[in-house]
Structure formats: C-alpha cells, structure tokens
Amino acid sequence: MKLFLQKLQLTMESAWYNQAWWLVFLLPLSGLYCLIISIRRALYTSDILKRTQFDIPVIVIGNIVLGGTGKTPIVISIANQLSDKGYRVGIASRGYKSTIKDYPHEVKETESALLVGDEPYLLQHCTGCPVVVDPKRVRAVQHLIDKHQCQIVICDDGLQHLALKPGITIAIHPQSLVGNSANCIPAGPLREPLSCLENYDIVVDTSPNSKELYTVTQKDITIVDRKDRMIDPKLLSDKALTAVTAIARPERFIESLSNVDIKAKKKFYPDHYSFKQNDFDAIDTSIIMTEKDWVKCKHFNFNQHVYIAKLNINHGLIFQNKFSSLLNELEAKRVRHEL
C-alpha cells in the first residue's frame, strides 16, 4: 500500500507540472474542493467557528502548494535570527510522517527523526529552539508558552490551520514552479486557490532569479562530513559521488552541487521517504545528501564516506524590512495591551 501511494504521488506531481490532458476530468472535483475551502474559511473569519489568538507574536510560515517549496530553511533562518536578537523562540510543527501517538510532544535531540518526523528533528537540530509536535497548533503554542515562556512562536506550516489566529503570515510560493493558472487538488497542486495569497502578510517567491517583491533565495551550500567538519567543495569536484535524497525537488539539490562544481550520480526517493540501511549497501561511491536526509539515517553503519550539504539562504532586503516592520507592530500592540 505504501509503495502504491508513493507511485501515485509521483504520478500526480508529474501530471500537474507537465499539464497532463486528462487532468481536465478532475476539474469538477477541484471546484467542489475550492467551495468547501471557501465555506470553511468564511466560518472562521466570521467567528462562527472559534479562533484562538495569543498575546505573543505567532508567525505562521507555510504554503498553498503541495510538496516542497523551500519552507523549512526559511523557518530555520528566521528562528535563528530572532534567537540571535535575544527572543525566546519556540517552533510548532504538525510532524508529518511522525509515529508519535501522544500530544503535545517535545522533540529531543536523542530521539529518532523516524519517530518525530524529519522536519521537526531538523528544526530542533539546526536552531536549538524547543520544537513541539502536535497536529493542533493552538495546543502546541500553549505548551511552548507554559513550559518555555516563549516570547515568539513560529508555526512550521499551518496557513490552512484556521483555528489559530496568527500575528504574521508568510506564504512561500515558488512562482516559477506553479505559474499563474494552477488548479486546486486533485486537478492541480494547490491546497487553496491562488486568490488566497491576498490573505497573507508576505508572499515570498523562492524561485531562482525571481522578479517578485519579496524573495528568499539560495545563497550557497556548506559541505561537512559526518563529524560536522567543513569540507572544501573543491576536494569533491573529481571524486566519485552518489547524491542520495528524498526531498520534493531533488533537481534543486543537484543544481546546488553543480554550482560548486560537484558532479554526482543520482539516486532519488519520494519526499519524506524513510531510509533503510540496505538503501545504501549497494552504493560503490562516496555519498552526498542534504541535511534533511542525513538526520534520518545518521545512525546507519556506512561503509562509504558520507558528505552533508547544508543550505544557506539569502533574505531579500525588502523582505527583511517588511518582516521587521510587522514584528515591531506586534510588539507595540503587546506593550500597549500590557499598559
């Protein structure tokens, strides 16, 4: 069953982004889906369904597109920036593909990414912030406030989780991938219509060479070994390598390697794939993978050299200024409320 669902996912993604002709037969279902989404949003915005708002700034970073949009590196970067400014920052995550049964669950460094989910584990590993996994974001935020006295909480994903009323909303939208005419699921990759982007404070385009107002782009990568020692990419340019990854846009990973003159064979798996030891046993070269992949298999016994590519991103200046302005507004409201 799991293998069937993985193949179905790959088939649908290929159809969406290559505009397969047969998707037209799914348009009625997409129309019904959009109607349900619109009714649901109206029930929340009119306060017929309860929404919870917290006194501290809650920042929701998500997307309206299924699959990878480069959201996780942005969450990590913003969390680290805010921590560096002295804020006590917490992160709430749904924990996609985690096997946790009891919520809220606070991620521990000693736990497996297979237990808590690869993204929550990576968020905790890269920020040092408390990360709480819970499909109910309101409960996760309350836990972070009660246990860690967090001054700011970032929700990793959750734009469609309307029970939580956020202070700042950031939608990650790769314009070059989606275009201007994508449909909602199942005829397209959208979780909600493109018109919903107007509801969010900042819409960030992660496309390379974007001309949009707010941009966050990849700056470069840092290569480290299994002991987190930095490796000069030039030392790998003539080395036999296999790039192993299970992310939504593996071609972006290959492009980032190519930008530092690293060539590698390709071994791709579906997004969020749970690696097994025997996935690596037959590889007869050194291995290079993303940090998100590494956290899921760092406990394996490798016979090969393994290198990890850490992504560094660049926030556009206009994005930085807009985000700082929104945060200052929230802080000013909080102070006035306390007075």
Q: Where are the beta strands (DSSP E) in the chain?
A: 58-62, 89-93, 105-106, 131-133, 152-156, 168-172, 202-204, 216-225, 230-231, 241-245, 265-268, 286-290, 306-315
Give me the CATH topology for the region 8-215+316-330: Rossmann fold (3.40.50)
Beta-carbon count within 10 A of 72 CB: 24
Check whether 335 has a pLDDT greater than 80.
no
Alpha-carbon distance of 91 to 102, in angstroms, equals: 18
Q: What pTM does this model have?
A: 0.89
Q: At what angle do helices 71-84 and 118-127 cross, to 10 degrees?
A: 30
Q: What is the mean pLDDT of residues 72-92?
A: 94
The tokens for 197 are 């982007």
pLDDT digits (tens, 9 = 90+) for 193-202: 988 989 999 9
Residues 6+ apart with CB under 8 A from 275: 246, 269, 293, 296, 297, 300
pLDDT digits (tens, 9 = 90+) for 224-242: 999 999 999 999 999 999 9
Q: What is the mean pLDDT of residues 236-259?
A: 92
**DSSP codes joined into one string, 255-267:** HHHHTTT---EEE
Cα–Cα–Cα angle for 154, 250, 91, rounded to 5 degrees: 10
* Confidence at 205, pLDDT banded by 50, 70, 90: confident
The backbone region for 274, taken as left when phi is positive above 0, alpha when psi lies in -120 to 50, beta otherwise, is beta
Count helices and strands in the chain by DSSP H and E runs: 11, 13
> Which amino acid is located at 102 in the chain?
D
- What's the confidence (pLDDT) of residue 339? 55
3-state percent breakdown (helix, strand, coil) of the chain, nearest 5 = 40, 20, 40
* Confidence at 67, pLDDT banded by 50, 70, 90: confident
Beta-carbon count within 10 A of 322 CB: 18
- What's the confidence (pLDDT) of residue 14? 82
* Confidence at 334, pLDDT banded by 50, 70, 90: low
Domain map (residue ranges) of the chain: 8-215+316-330, 218-312
> Which amino acid is located at 200 in the chain?
Y
Alpha-carbon distance of 123 to 76, in angstroms, equals: 6
- What's the confidence (pLDDT) of residue 129? 97
Check whether 3 has a pLDDT greater than 70.
no
* Confidence at 266, pLDDT banded by 50, 70, 90: very high
Residues 6+ apart with CB under 8 A from 293: 118, 244, 245, 246, 247, 275
Query: Of 75, 87, 59, 62, whose CA–CA distance to 148 is shortest?
Result: 87
pLDDT digits (tens, 9 = 90+) for 124-177: 999 999 999 999 999 999 999 999 999 999 999 889 999 999 999 999 888 766
* Confidence at 181, pLDDT banded by 50, 70, 90: low
Alpha-carbon distance of 110 to 108, in angstroms, equals: 5
The tokens for 289 are 């993978």
Check whether 190 has a pLDDT greater than 60.
yes
Per-chain mean pLDDT for the chain: 89
Residue 36: is it exposed, middle or buried by C-beta count within 10 angstroms (0-12/13-18/19+)? Answer: exposed
Check whether 297 has a pLDDT greater than 70.
yes
